[in-house]
Structure 1
Amino acid sequence: MPKFAANLTMLFTELPFMQRFEAAAKAGFEAVEYLFPYPFEKKELAAALRANGLQQVLHNLPAGDWDKGERGIACHPERTSEFREGIAMAIDYATALGCPQLNCLVGKVPEGADINVVNRTVIDNLRLAARELEAAGLRLLVEPINTFDIPGFYLNRTDKALALIEAVGSPNLKVQYDIYHAQRMEGELGNTLSKHLAQIGHIQLADNPGRGEPGTGEINYPWLFRHIDSIGYEGWIGCEYKPRSDTVDGLGWREALTQ
Structure 2
Amino acid sequence: MPRFAANLSMMYTEVDFLDRFSAASADGFEAVEYLFPYAYEPAELRRRLDEHGLRQVLFNAPPGDWDSGERGIASLPGREGELRSGIGRALEYAAALGCGQVHVMAGLLPREATATQRAAHRDTYLSNLAWAAERAAAVDVDLLIEPINGRDMPGYFLHRQADAHALVQEVGASNLKVQLDLYHCQIVEGDLTTTLRRDLPTGRVAHLQIAGVPDRHEPDRGELNVRHLLDVVDELGFDGWIGCEYIPQAGTSEGLGWLKDNRWLKNERWLKNDRGEHA
TM more than 0.5: yes
Deviation at 1:255, TM superposition (A): 2.7
Q: Tell whether the 8 Å contact from 1:225 to 1:258 is kept in structure 2 after alignment.
A: no
Q: Which position in structure 1 is the counterpart of 2:74?
A: 74
Question: Per-residue CA shift, 1:139-184, capped at 9, x if unaligned?
Answer: 1110000001111100001001011112212121110000000000
Deviation at 1:223, TM superposition (A): 0.6
Deviation at 1:122, TM superposition (A): 0.3
Q: 1:199 aligns with which of 201, 204, 224?
A: 204
Larger radius of gyration: 2
Percentage identity across paired residues of the two chains: 49
Alignment of 1:108 with 2:111, yes or no, is: no
User: Counterpart of 1:131 in structure 2: which amino acid?
Assistant: E
Deviation at 1:194, TM superposition (A): 1.5
**SS of residue matched to 1:204:** strand
Q: Tell me, in whole angstroms, the C-alpha distance in 1 between the residues paired with 2:168 and 2:239.
A: 21
Q: Which position in structure 2 is the counterpart of 1:226?
A: 231
- Once structures 1 and 2 are overlaid, which stretch shifts more, 186-195 or 113-122? 113-122
> 5+ residue gaps in structure 1?
none
Q: Which position in structure 2 is the counterpart of 1:127?
A: 130
Q: Tell me, in whole angstroms, the C-alpha distance in 1 between the residues paired with 2:261 and 2:21.
A: 24
User: Counterpart of 1:54 in structure 2: which amino acid?
Assistant: L
Deviation at 1:228, TM superposition (A): 0.4
**SS of residue matched to 1:187:** coil
Aligned length: 259
Q: 2:257 aligns with which of 252, 255, 259?
A: 252
Q: Tell me, in whole angstroms, the C-alpha distance in 1 between the residues paired with 2:119 and 2:204.
A: 25
Q: 2:183 aligns with which of 180, 185, 202?
A: 180
**SS of residue matched to 1:77:** coil
Deviation at 1:116, TM superposition (A): 2.0
Deviation at 1:257, TM superposition (A): 4.0
Alignment of 1:190 with 2:196, yes or no, is: no
Deviation at 1:110, TM superposition (A): 3.5
Q: Tell whether the 8 Å contact from 1:73 to 1:107 is kept in structure 2 after alignment.
A: yes
Q: Which position in structure 1 is the counterpart of 2:168?
A: 165
CA RMSD after TM alignment: 1.2
**SS of residue matched to 1:78:** coil
What's the TM-score, normalizing by structure 2? 0.90
> 5+ residue gaps in structure 2?
265-279
